[in-house]
Amino acid sequence: MIYLRIKTGTKGFDDVINGGLIPNRIYVLSGPPGSGKTTFGVQFLAYGASTGAPGLYVSLTRGAETTFENMSGYHINIPMLTRRNELFFKDVKSMPDYGDSDTSISPSTIYAKITDLVNRYSIKRLVIDSMSTMRFSIKDHTSKDMEIGRFIQNLSLLDCTTILISEMVDPSTYSTEQYACDGLIFLHNFMRGRSMTRAIQIIKMCGTAHDCEMRKLDFTENGLRVSDKIV
Ligand SMILES: Nc1ncnc2c1ncn2[C@@H]1O[C@H](COP(=O)(O)OP(=O)(O)O)[C@@H](O)[C@H]1O
Ligand SMILES: [Mg+2]
């Protein structure tokens, strides 16, 4: 089967996944803090938005405005894309505030808000930041995995290519979203010699021939760029 692929917008990355992501599927991007997850996600949305596919960044930590500000320094013209209603940054509550009587927040209420935004703005590319925060909205510890599984199953009903961001503390234990998704990408942040190095690695990409090597990932003024394998 030959799939039409969509570009992620991260230079050097699409070449290692047969030209891009298979659309309308769910991908998980995992990595430690500062490894570039949010940047990768927003770049994916901005690329789509500038090529006719409206994008939505959902922050579950009330950080949509901050992400917008952080990302506006890059060469990609994010403020212009938001002004044109091609790219949206939205906060969706994952926890009640102090003194807030709204204790109804759950994966299903979060899903309902996301669905509403997706339909309202004809969203084609979606980023949810992050699944780790999403877990806070599940009060019953015994049903966390099931709730996350249901959320992902329902997301697949939306006509969107979705990146779920998930913080990764322990790369040796996998979480529900990492099992349930169609593709899993790891970002790494580690000491190499005396300097900090960033890397990207494809762990799983259904329908795609790929290797599992780590490749160098750099921040440039044009955003993230993937280069050579790290040997
Ligand atoms: N313009 C830039 N040039 C170089 N590095 C940058 C730039 N902007 C952000 N960074 C780096 O990106 C890191 C944050 O990336 P981010 O995508 O927010 O990571 P994550 O979402 O994985 O925590 C910062 O800690 C900083 O080191
Ligand atoms: Mg982040």
- Each domain of the chain, given as residue ranges in start order, spans 19-195
Q: How does residue 112 score in pLDDT terms, banded at 50, 70 and 90?
A: very high
Which residue's CA is minimally distant from atom 10 of ligand 1? Answer: 219
Average pLDDT, the chain: 94
What pLDDT does 105 receive? 93
Ligand number nearest CA of 29 is 1
Query: Residue 5, Cβ neighbours under 10 Å: how many?
Result: 16
CA distance 66 to 48: 21
Which amino acid does the sequence have at 182? Answer: D
- Return left, alpha or beta for 140; rule: phi > 0 is left, psi -120 to 50 is alpha, else beta: beta
Which residue's CA is minimally distant from atom 9 of ligand 1? Answer: 219
Which helix (H) or strand (E) covers residue 224, if one does?
Answer: strand 223-229
How far, in Å, is the centroid of ligand 2 from the Cα of 36? Answer: 7
CA distance 158 to 112: 11
For the chain, the first-to-last Cα distance in angstroms comes to 33
Which residue's CA is minimally distant from atom 1 of ligand 1? Answer: 221
The percent of residues in the chain predicted with pLDDT above 90, rounded, is 84
Per-residue pLDDT for 171 more than 80?
no
How far, in Å, is the centroid of ligand 2 from the Cα of 218? Answer: 16
Most confident of 1-5, 53-57, 169-173, 206-210: 53-57
Give me the DSSP letters along 125-159: EEEEE-HHHHGGG---GGGHHHHHHHHHHHHTTSS
Which DSSP state fits 11?
Answer: B
How far, in Å, is the centroid of ligand 1 from the Cα of 17? Answer: 23
- Answer whether 202's CB lies under 8 Å from 16's CB: yes
How far, in Å, is the centroid of ligand 1 from the Cα of 187? Answer: 12
Which residue's CA is minimally distant from atom 3 of ligand 1? Answer: 219
Which residue's CA is minimally distant from atom 24 of ligand 1? Answer: 34
- Summarised one tens digit per residue, pLDDT across range 126-167 is 999 999 999 989 989 999 999 999 999 999 999 999 999 999
CA distance 165 to 83: 25
Per-residue pLDDT for 86 more than 90?
yes
Q: How does residue 73 score in pLDDT terms, banded at 50, 70 and 90?
A: confident
- Summarised one tens digit per residue, pLDDT across range 27-55 is 999 999 999 999 999 999 999 999 999 99
Which amino acid does the sequence have at 20? Answer: G
Q: How does residue 213 score in pLDDT terms, banded at 50, 70 and 90?
A: very high
Quick one: how far is CA 36 from the chain centroid?
Answer: 10
- Mean pLDDT for the stretch of residues 200-224: 95
What pLDDT does 170 receive? 78
Instruction: Determine the residue of 60, 72, 219 to mutate for testing ligand 1's pocket, defined as the one with the most ligand atoms within 8 A of the Cβ atom.
Output: 219
Per-residue pLDDT for 81 more than 80?
yes
Q: How does residue 1 score in pLDDT terms, banded at 50, 70 and 90?
A: low
The arrangement of secondary structure in 19-195, i.e. its CATH architecture, is 3-Layer(aba) Sandwich (3.40)
Burial zone of 204 (CB within 10 Å; 0-12 exposed, 13-18 middle, 19+ buried)? middle
Which amino acids bring their CB within 6 angstroms of ligand 1? 31, 33-39, 73, 219
Which residue's CA is minimally distant from atom 26 of ligand 1? Answer: 34
How far, in Å, is the centroid of ligand 2 from the Cα of 2? Answer: 33
